[in-house]
Amino acid sequence: MKTNELTRRRTFGIISHPDAGKTTLTEKLLLFGGAIHTAGAVKKNKIRKAATSDFMEIEKQRGISVATSVMGFEYNGYKVNILDTPGHKDFAEDTYRTLTAVDSVILVIDCAKGVEEQTRKLMNVCRMRNTPVIVFINKLDREGRNPFELLDELERELGIHTRPLTWPIGIGPQFQGVYNLFEQQLELFSPNKTTVPEDVLSIDDLASPLLDEHLGPASAAQLREDVHLIESAFESFDEGHYREGYLAPVFFGSAINNFGVKELLDTFVAIAPPPQPRETATRMVDPAEEAFSGFVFKIHANLDPNHRDRIAFCRVCSGRFERNTFYYHTRLDKELRFTNPTSFMANEKSIIEEAWPGDVVGLYDTGNFKIGDTLTAGEVLHFKGIPRFSPEIFRQVVNRNPFKSKQLDKGIRQLTDEGVAQLLIRDHGTAKIIGAVGELQFEVIQFRLLHEYGAQCDFQPMNVYKAFWFTSADDRQLERFLSLQNHHIAFDKDTLPVFLAEGTWSLRAAQEMFPEIDFHLTSEFKADPDAVQSIGQWGKS
């Protein structure tokens, strides 16, 4: 293994509550990284040019991200891989799966709104895996809250310790720029920049008269007072504490104006962890191992509507992935070869010859992959931590055009393979049930079925409270439960039985009647009970 290829990788996800500016920040990171040259800025009351990371037609129409985009670029000797996640709460499960494929996270906060509902839920998932988090407080060019109040709320609401590495000078109309505490530089703000800011001054002594000259005496005095308070009230930045997920560095800026982003990117590549070890059912896999291994965390059908392709997103965990090499698919117990593996720049793909730990490889798929599948150089491994969790809303599929039954069946199976929602089958395959976290998922499925498969359907509401996977050490009791509860049983895509509880009373009755049966909120039965409970509650409005 080439050590430098491992140590220079930085693979991270960007998460936020909707409308905090996550997709805009993603674009500006690409802009500063030289991966794109113009940004698709969002203009109020005008139709926006679609953001680089939003490639599905419904995303362009609705102005939201509903699928995870993968983007990679070179920056200052580092290979940066960004996984831009859905911000909308109805697609929380896709975001959770994506967080299993990253080594760190950037959390975007709106300076006017602070910590919001989705922010809390996403941070709960990060804490489950001790994922290192960097916070970017966005929209400083607009009226917002006091920065110290925001930091206090972050610590109180999210249960993390914070340490500012840049500090804003003013806010809204009075916003003048940021002081970089990490590099001891002053960066002056000019709105609507389309290139990298150049108004950067090295000021290693805040008593310097340069500060008063460029900011004015009042703003300079306020900055000195703020920095003194930061140094005395906040613990000093420690890279080890950040990588352990204990301490979150905080940056301030305005992504729409390309401001404060370069400091974030420069510091990120310097302190963020390289690819980390991954847990399997049998052992930990170290990224420095010679043998290749990786897992599929997302599947996307029809990335290019003109070619009806289906691509599995595979996170490389160890060794080197090579084109035209046979790899072992552990679930199917067979070897597969990939002649056209791809790397991504949103909807632009290019064929690659090799990939290293931390990289995400696109594998053209004819139906061999499911989310969570493992590829290796031959060893039987199964990477953990990619469970499905119980949906919140259940609808039965009703075909509106019997002449398109095959197209509907294919579309439903492919879209649920992607993880857009979950498919449950009952009545010997005649009834198809879609389980989702939010209503918007049904809208997306309907839209894509029509535009990508030519199939039309309706969704009939069902009286189901929650779905539970279930297991038992007593096979006879399991058979008895399946027989007596037959009308409440469906099967997931892996043919695992699922109990459809009509309410909490229904679950309690089943537990009392069958104490030998264990009910699970996720498909990964050996998950930590506290984590299972957290996941089960996540996504509720």
pLDDT tier at 195, thresholds 50, 70, 90? very low
Residue 224 in this model has a pLDDT that exceeds 60: yes
CB 52 within 8 A of CB 70: no
pLDDT tier at 384, thresholds 50, 70, 90? confident
Residue 527 in this model has a pLDDT that exceeds 50: no
Do 266 and 283 share a domain, yes or no?
no
Do 347 and 421 share a domain, yes or no?
no
386 belongs to a structural domain: no
**Burial category of 2 from C-beta neighbours within 10 Å (exposed 0-12, middle 13-18, buried 19 and up):** exposed
Do 147 and 205 share a domain, yes or no?
yes
- Contacting residues for 509 by C-beta, under 8 A, at least 6 apart: none
382 belongs to a structural domain: no
Do 245 and 305 share a domain, yes or no?
no
pLDDT value at residue 73:
87
Taking the CA of residue 392 as centre, how many other CA atoms within 13 Å lie in the half-sphere pointing to its CB?
18
pLDDT value at residue 283:
95
Do 465 and 450 share a domain, yes or no?
yes
Stretch 210-232: mean pLDDT, rounded? Answer: 90
Q: How far apart are CA 64 and CA 59, in angstroms?
A: 5
Do 75 and 217 share a domain, yes or no?
yes
Identify the CA nearest to 272 among candidates 71, 131, 119.
131
413 belongs to a structural domain: yes
493 belongs to a structural domain: yes
Residue 539 in this model has a pLDDT that exceeds 70: no
CATH of the domain at 87: 3.40.50.300
388 belongs to a structural domain: no
Q: Which residue has the higher pLDDT, 429 or 220?
A: 220
Domain boundary among 376, 404, 430: 376
Percent of the chain with pLDDT over 70: 84
pLDDT value at residue 193:
52
384 belongs to a structural domain: no
pLDDT value at residue 135:
97
Do 178 and 296 share a domain, yes or no?
no
Do 291 and 397 share a domain, yes or no?
no
Stretch 364-380: mean pLDDT, rounded? Answer: 91
pLDDT tier at 161, thresholds 50, 70, 90? very high
Stretch 342-366: mean pLDDT, rounded? Answer: 83
Distance spanning both ends of the chain, measured CA to CA: 46
Helix and strand tally (H, E) in the chain?
15, 31
Do 343 and 464 share a domain, yes or no?
no
**Burial category of 21 from C-beta neighbours within 10 Å (exposed 0-12, middle 13-18, buried 19 and up):** buried
Angle between helices 22-32 and 261-271 (to 10 degrees): 80
Mean pLDDT, the chain, whole residue set: 83
Do 35 and 132 share a domain, yes or no?
yes
- Radius of gyration from C-alpha coordinates of the chain: 24
Domain with 150 in it: 3-271
Residue 474 in this model has a pLDDT that exceeds 70: yes
pTM of the model: 0.78
The winner for highest mean pLDDT among 49-58, 82-91, 393-402 is: 393-402
289 belongs to a structural domain: yes
Number of domains in the chain: 3
- Contacting residues for 111 by C-beta, under 8 A, at least 6 apart: 137, 138, 139, 140, 142, 144, 145, 147, 150, 171, 252
Domain boundary among 327, 343, 376: 376
Stretch 391-400: mean pLDDT, rounded? Answer: 92
492 belongs to a structural domain: yes
Q: Which residue has the higher pLDDT, 167 or 41?
A: 167
Do 331 and 346 share a domain, yes or no?
yes
Do 288 and 316 share a domain, yes or no?
yes
Q: How far apart are CA 412 and CA 448, in angstroms?
A: 10
Domain boundary among 217, 247, 271: 271
Q: Model confidence over 96-133: pLDDT tens digits? A: 778 889 999 999 999 999 998 878 878 877 887 889 99
pLDDT tier at 534, thresholds 50, 70, 90? very low
